[in-house]
Structure 1
Amino acid sequence: MILTGPEIARAVAAGEIHIDDFSPARLEPNSYGFRLAPDILCYEEAELDSYEQPKATQVVMGHNGMVLEPGRFYLGSTMEAMGSPHYAATLYACRSVSTLGMWIQFSAPLGHSGAIFPWTLEISVANALRVYSGMTIGKLSFWSMQGEPHQYVGKYTGSTSAVASRLSEDVGPAPLTTGSAG
């Protein structure tokens, strides 16, 4: 079952849910509104190889924000470290952000129990769009779990901001290439 806003507030007060810089003003009927952190990662290469750690450049937004361009892929993060050892969580964009043509999460919206850190956002835009550090960009919902919880212990544990893909840690050695026989 999804937690209501008042139940999220109760769980935060009881220490069951962790949200840095918790503000009751950002509670919604079934979620908590989170903000965009100032650091954005951009991959440096046009072609990425899943067997290699991608090279990324970090850009820190200033007071005037940053213009995101269509056709580019960005990694941002939430200002808040959020999560819970007692609940699973799912991350969504705010409707107001989505209707500007901005996507913040394509394929990894699930937060396992025990995963407590700033969430990395998968950002793309349909139109050039200026964004600002601290703007409310999405919402996190919390769900009760059935069965004995297992705590997340993975390669993103300890993250403090946006994190580039670590898929290369999961894959085996690079595939062998064969030359043509002479």
Structure 2
Amino acid sequence: MILTGPEIARGVAAGEIHIDDFTPARLEPNSYSFRLAPKLLRYEDEVLDSFRPPRVTELAIGEEGCLLEPGRFYLGSTMEAMGSPRYAATLYACRSVCTLGVWIQFSAPLGHCGSVFPWTLEITVANPVRVYSGMVIGKLAFWAMQGEAHQYDGKYSGSTAVVASRLSTEVRGS
């Protein structure tokens, strides 16, 4: 069952949902709007190897914004650390961003209960698009779970900003 905006606010007040810099004005009917953090990562290797950490370049989003180019893959993050020890969450782009041809999450939208951190965004664009730090870029929805809850304790636990792939930390053949 998806939580309504007022139920998200109640969960934040009760300590059941964590949202840094919670602002009631960013509540939606069934989600909370989040903002783009001021740092992006771009992979530099021509070929990415699943068993080697990727080389990345860090891009700072200044006041003039950052121009994203088609054919490039960027990693960004939410400005807010968000999550819950009680609810699962799913991340979505906001419609206004999508209709500019910006995709922010297309393969890993699920946040397990217990995962509370700035979410890494998988960003590609159809056309050149300028983005700005602090702009609302997406929404997080919270879901009640059925069954025994197990808290997330994965390789991205403790993240404080955008994170490149950590697939190389897994053992081959596991």
- The offset of 1:141, in angstroms, is 0.1
Whole-angstrom distance in 2 between the partners of 1:152 and 1:42: 27
What residue in structure 1 maps to residue 142 of structure 2? Answer: 142
Query: Gaps (5+ residues) in structure 1?
Result: 174-182
Secondary structure at the aligned position of 1:8 is classed as helix
* Residue identity in the other structure for 1:21: D
What residue in structure 2 maps to residue 25 of structure 1? Answer: 25
Whole-angstrom distance in 2 between the partners of 1:86 and 1:39: 29
- The offset of 1:77, in angstroms, is 0.1
What residue in structure 1 maps to residue 66 of structure 2? Answer: 66
Secondary structure at the aligned position of 1:28 is classed as coil
- The structure having more radius of gyration, on CA atoms, is 1
- The offset of 1:124, in angstroms, is 0.1
- The offset of 1:22, in angstroms, is 0.2
Secondary structure at the aligned position of 1:9 is classed as helix
What residue in structure 1 maps to residue 55 of structure 2? Answer: 55
What residue in structure 2 maps to residue 7 of structure 1? Answer: 7
- The offset of 1:140, in angstroms, is 0.1
Q: How many residues align?
A: 173
- The offset of 1:28, in angstroms, is 0.0
Q: Deviations over 1:53-112 (max 9, x none)?
A: 111111111110100000000000000000000000000000000000000001000000
Q: Deviations over 1:34-70 (max 9, x none)?
A: 0000000000112100011111111111110100000
Over the aligned positions, Cα root-mean-square deviation in angstroms equals: 0.8
* Residue identity in the other structure for 1:32: Y
* Residue identity in the other structure for 2:150: H
What residue in structure 2 maps to residue 37 of structure 1? Answer: 37
* Residue identity in the other structure for 1:129: V
Secondary structure at the aligned position of 1:86 is classed as coil
Q: Runs of 4 or more off by more than 3 Å in structure 1?
A: none
Whole-angstrom distance in 1 between the partners of 2:171 and 2:125: 29
Q: Which moved more, 1:133-142 or 1:50-59?
A: 50-59
Query: Gaps (5+ residues) in structure 2?
Result: none
Whole-angstrom distance in 2 between the partners of 1:48 and 1:101: 25
Whole-angstrom distance in 1 between the partners of 2:162 and 2:97: 19
What residue in structure 2 maps to residue 176 of structure 1? Answer: none
2:161 equivalent to 1:161: yes
Counting aligned pairs with the same residue, the percent is 75
- The offset of 1:143, in angstroms, is 0.1
What residue in structure 1 maps to residue 98 of structure 2? Answer: 98
Whole-angstrom distance in 2 between the partners of 1:61 and 1:171: 35
